[in-house]
Every structure is written in structure tokens, then in C-alpha cells.
Amino acid sequence: MTKIMKRLCAVALIVLVCFTAWIVVRSAHSIANGSRIFSEVIAIRNAVPANATNLRTESSEASWVAGCSEVPGSRSGWTTDHVSVTFVDASSRATVIEKIDGVLRRQGWQRHDSKPSPSAGRLPHWTLNVMSAHVVQAWAFLVGPRTHHWYFSASWEPSGPIGQLCP
């Protein structure tokens, strides 16, 4: 082999090793179907009753965050897909829950109401199987007694370490 051929082979080998390392590092910080799952999480907005007013939506898609050097024990990891919707609806609690439940069930959600404490009432709770290690979870409840203000949220936690953002 000539010197030029040896050098070309060495360069090709280095490029191959670098490309392989880039793929491995990149895939370690990715979520398979992450955008699809986020689109299912944010779709809870469609379940807000049509007559609701003062609608406000906040959302954040899961992302990889580096650990925070200012916080001892902090580590790199994933944030959570999260969507929260606040709204006002003067309909009865049962009517609002029925409307939300109907839309979520058509989207494939399962209802599993829960009672967080013995003295608390049952909270409407839904889950959606997104073919991941974790299901998407949604909750809807009135904010305060004798009010028509609702808080409706959904979240999904990716598999892997949970990241901690800097304060």
C-alpha cells in the first residue's frame, strides 16, 4: 500500500469512529416518539368544554437538561411533558367532568378516579397508554370551594433519569 492509501484508510477509520460516537451520544439524550407523545399530552385542550371562558394554557415538552453545578447532588436528565389548562365554567361539576371524560375517552384515555386522602373527595383522573414505560396522566378539579375555576392538567415522564434545573 502506498502512503496515500494508508493515510486515506486512517482518515476513514477516524471519521467512522467519530460518527459512531456521535450517534451513541446523541441517542442517549433522545426520546423515541417524544413529539408524538407530546402531541397526545397537549390534546387535552380539546377536552375543555366549549362554553368555558378565561381559558389559559401552559405547556412544556420534555427535554434533556444538564445537571446544575450550584446544586449539590444535581444530575442531568429529562424534564416532563406537561400541559395545564385553567378555565371558568359555570356548569355543574358533574357536567364539566362528563364533557371532559367524553372527549378523553374518544381519544383513548381510561378513567381511574382517585381519593388522595380519607377526608378528600374523589378526583377525576385519567391515564393514556403511549407504549412507553410510563403512561400519560391527567387530572381535573375545581380550584377552591364554591368556585367555577377549573385546573386541568396532563403530564408524562420519559424513561431515564429525572433532570434538575438550576433555581
Q: Record the pTM.
A: 0.75
List 142's β-bridge partners, or say none: 150
In a domain, 163, yes or no: no
In a domain, 164, yes or no: no
In a domain, 72, yes or no: yes
pLDDT for position 146: 87
Indicate if 91 and 142 belong to the same structural domain. yes
Indicate if 54 and 82 belong to the same structural domain. yes
Indicate if 65 and 138 belong to the same structural domain. yes
Higher-confidence position of 117 and 57: 57
Secondary structure percentages of the chain, helix, strand, coil, to 5:
30, 25, 40
The identity of residue 47, as a single letter, is A
pLDDT for position 115: 80
CB burial of residue 74 (10 Å; 0-12, 13-18, 19+): middle
Indicate if 80 and 10 belong to the same structural domain. no
Is 86 a residue whose pLDDT tops 90? yes
Is 159 a residue whose pLDDT tops 50? yes
Give pLDDT tens digits for 34-54. Answer: 788 999 999 999 999 999 999
Give pLDDT tens digits for 106-156. Answer: 999 999 998 877 877 789 999 999 988 889 999 999 998 889 999 999 999
Mean pLDDT over 88-110 rounds to: 97
In a domain, 162, yes or no: no
In a domain, 167, yes or no: no
The CB-side HSE value for 45 (13 A sphere, CA atoms) comes to 13
pLDDT for position 39: 93
pLDDT for position 119: 78
pLDDT for position 118: 81
Q: Which domain holds residue 113?
A: 32-156
pLDDT for position 74: 80
In a domain, 37, yes or no: yes
pLDDT for position 117: 79
pLDDT for position 1: 63
pLDDT for position 19: 46
Give pLDDT tens digits for 15-38. Answer: 555 444 444 344 445 576 778 899
